[in-house]
Amino acid sequence: MTEPLFKIDAGKCTLCYTCIRICPVKAIMVKHNRSFAEIDDNRCVGCGNCLDVCPEEAISFMNSTERVGQLLESNNKVAAIVDPSISGEFDDITDYRKFVKMIRELGFEYVLEVSFGVDIIAKHYKKLIEDFKGKYYLFSNCPAVVMHVEKYNPDLLKNLAPLVTGMTVSARVARARYGEDLKVVAISPCIAAKREAVRYDDDGRVDELITFRELREMFAERNIEESKLEYSDFDPPLGAAGALYPVSEGIVQAAKLSEDLLEGHIITTEGASNISAAIDEFEHQIEEIEKHFNLFYCEGCLMGPGTTPDKKKFLRRTLVTNYAKKRDKTFDKKEWQAQMNKFSQISCAARFKVDDQRMEEPSEEKIAEIMRNIGKGDGKGMKGCSACGYPSCREFAKAVAKGLAKTEMCQTHNVRNQQEYIKSLRLTNEKLAQTRKALEESEQAAQKEKETAMEAMETTKAMLQKIPTGILLVNDQLKIIQANQTFIRLLGDEVTEINEIIPGLAGADLKTLVPYNFYNFFSYVLEHDESVINRDVHYGDKMYNLSVFSIRKHKVVGAVVRDMHSPEVRGDEVIHRLTEAIDENLRMVQQIGFLLGEGASKTEQMLNSVIEAFNTAQGKSNE
């Protein structure tokens, strides 16, 4: 797989869409599931417009310095063919012979001028234009223009001038003069020329290509400086008017063709913003225009993306023309002509290929759907803000339909969505605030209820201990839940000692504390959910009166136990005290019933039955 010309570092990309806006063929896309831009190398024409516009410096281009270094370290003879734009690039070099020497110091056996190759190509252009047979041509000097036609206007391939670039001719000249086994490295201001370099595999092949940026990088790595070196000139053959090639009109002047507005037959235009429009007009209005088109994606090769990005166009233009003038003063024209004659049979024929990257146009229904989704209606008459990188909302919608863009790239769409999202968040926050307040209030109420319940429980426990009658609560396993002090005292000293270890006898097994005839009533009530009221039970030498009742069905039972031999139970005073106990402790018994389930009313009935039973027994004794 061919290494891509340009890459975007996903980690640096901030999706500002600057590169998308400047890409003339929209080869830079943002896929729907990606948060960064990507360059489709198949669609890219190598113009390099995106390279220096990225504010995050996230875009880089194919670097060939390592491969060139390896080639120079090999046993091969290597020639450098140098684009004439170098005179505009190295404004910091006082004499061109110094940068020739600097190039040799890298390890090149020969250093040749591409301007001689341009002279040869210019001669062929002159013949092509002057031998006009009704067919108009697009000049093919710019590799980016050639790739544009191959990818986006393949029907115009027949109108591309069938001539190679000056670089390819120079490679053929170098091998013709210095040997077929010669390795050739081009030094160029053009990144698209890296594709042109591998277009041919014959004697016009270029083994590697480095840009002026990469050349400076190699100088710095090897500590090669002008001040440390002597002069050295280019190896022959030397170029003439081809030195003007870096200026867009330079090829026309080198070919001695006229651009006169009245008499000329050539239109020259430059800059990526003009190329697509120029090619489109050539395709559809050439019969009315009746001119050949000399096109350059850059503002002349002297402003190529492989040059130092200082954008000093007019300084560079001046340096190029001054260099051409200086060379012309000492130029041996007879020798130049002899060399031109010698290499006149060098092949300049080009070959192009269809590489159609045009995408099927989406349906009007699909475009309309996307326009509605981004809130643009039908999009008619809507130019848009171009913040997405596309010239109109309709073109953006078409790009989305083709998979080159995503709707989130539309700033107005995003703003509207953000406003709706903010509104939704505000409403959600309000609801959350209300819910939070309700939860806080509920929590406070629950805390108060808990505190109240705890207070009630503590009060109930305290009250339970104060009742002079034995009170006992037992679970379904006949384990004691709670027993008051009166009940514990009724069972004797041994149980009192156990209470000191296990307060309230909580968890104690009732069967280990009392005889069968005592705890059997508890088993009965648990199983049948029927209360046992006012039963006399013998325990040792004492007799107790026992009432057992259900508090939670089959789960918890309670009991009231009285010592029938205690003084309180013997006289009328007992009736008074029991009545008083009922009045004073009824609320407590009800609270116990509420907290533990059921049984408060049954307790009251039991206590009343105790009184009634005692009264009956007392009446009989009085008889």
What pLDDT score was predicted for residue 185?
Answer: 97
Angle at 147 between CA 143 and CA 151, to 5 degrees: 175
pLDDT band at 7 (very low <50, low <70, confident <90, very high): very high
pLDDT in tens, 452-463: 767 766 776 676
395 & 256 share domain = no
Q: Which residues contact 42 (CB under 8 A, 6 or more apart)?
A: 355, 357
Residues 483 and 545 in one domain: yes
AA letter at 581 = A
pLDDT tens-digit readout, 68-78 = 999 999 999 99
Q: Exposed, middle or buried, 314 (CB in 10 Å: 0-12/13-18/19+)?
A: exposed
CB contact set of 7 (below 8 Å; sequence gap of 6+): 39, 59, 60, 61
Neighbours of 547 (CB within 10 A): 24
Distances from the Cα of 371 to the Cα of 383, 406, 410, 502, angstroms: 13, 12, 11, 81
In a domain, 460, yes or no: no
Domain around 557: 467-622
Q: What is the dihedral of CA 587, 591, 594, 595, to 10 degrees?
A: -170
Reading phi first (left if > 0) and then psi (alpha if -120 to 50, else beta), residue 234 is in beta
Using the structure block, give the residue that is written with the tokens 């206590």. 607
Secondary structure (DSSP) of 58-93? -EEE---HHHHHHHHHSSS-EEEEE-TTHHHH-TT-
* CATH code assigned at 46: 3.30.70.20
Q: What is the pLDDT of residue 141?
A: 94
Is residue 524 within 8 Å of 550, Cβ to Cβ?
no
pLDDT at 94 over 80: no
Residue 622: count other Cβ atoms within 10 Å of its Cβ.
6
The yes-or-no verdict on residue 323 having pLDDT over 80 is: yes
The answer to whether residue 452 is domain-embedded is no
Co-location of 200 and 269 in the same domain: yes
292: in domain: yes
Phi-psi domain of 464 (left: phi exceeds 0; alpha: psi -120 through 50; beta: other)? alpha
What are the backbone dihedrals phi and psi of residue 399, each rounded to the nearest 5 degrees, phi first? -65, -40
**Shared domain check, 98 and 2:** no
Tally: H helices and E strands in the chain: 21, 15
Average pLDDT (186-212) is 94
| pLDDT recorded at residue 395 | 79
Q: Residue 572's pLDDT band (boundaries 50, 70, 90)?
A: very low
With respect to residue 424, please indicate whether it lies within any of the assigned structural domains: no
Burial class (CB in 10 A: 0-12, 13-18, 19+), 411: middle
DSSP 8-class letter at 494: H
Asked if residue 418 has pLDDT above 70, the reply is no
- Based on the fold, state whether residues 138 and 158 are members of the same structural domain: yes
pLDDT at 489: 81
Task: Give the pLDDT score at 494.
Answer: 80
121 plus 58 within the same structural domain: no
Q: Do 119 and 229 fall into the same domain? A: yes
What CA–CA distances, in Å, run from 592 to 311, 483, 582, 607?
Answer: 94, 13, 14, 15
Question: Mind spelling out the 3-state secondary structure of 307-357?
Answer: CCCCCCHHHHHHHHHHHHHHHHHCCCHHHHHHHHHHCCCCCCECCCCCCCC
Query: Is the full-model pTM beyond 0.85?
Result: no
Contact by Cβ (8 Å): 160, 146 = yes
Q: Is the pLDDT of residue 616 over 60?
A: no
Please tell me whether residues 50 and 132 are part of one structural domain. Answer: no
In this structure, are 152 and 240 located in the same domain? Answer: yes
The separation between the first and the last C-alpha atoms of the chain, rounded to the nearest angstrom, is 124
Mean pLDDT of 373-391: 67
Closest CA to 70 of 112, 100, 106, 123: 106
DSSP 167: H
The number of angstroms, rounded, from the C-alpha of 132 to the middle of its chain's C-alpha atoms is: 56
More confident residue, 142 or 378: 142
Euclidean distance between CA atoms 90 and 82, whole angstroms:
13
For residue 538, what pLDDT is reported? 80
Average pLDDT, the chain: 84
Q: Of the candidates 342, 374, 394, which is a domain's last residue? A: 342
Read off the pLDDT of residues 133-166 as tens digits, 9 standing for 90 and up: 999 999 999 999 999 999 999 999 999 999 999 9
Mean pLDDT of 420-444: 81
User: Among 342, 375, 397, where does a domain finish?
Assistant: 342
Phi, psi of 127 (to 5 degrees): -65, -40
Confirm whether 451 is domain-assigned. Answer: no
Mean pLDDT confidence for 339-349: 93
DSSP three-state, residue 38: strand
Query: Cβ distance 399 to 379 under 8 Å?
Result: no
With beta carbons less than 8 A apart as the criterion, state whether 4 and 61 touch.
no
Domain co-membership, 311 together with 169? yes
Q: Are residues 300 and 398 in the same domain?
A: no
Integer angstrom CA distances of residue 60 from 57, 68, 308, 412? 8, 18, 14, 30
Domain harbouring 532, CATH code: 3.30.450.20
Q: What angle do CA 365, 371, 372 make, to 5 degrees?
A: 90
When divided into structural domains, the chain yields a total of 4
Same domain, 73 and 208: yes
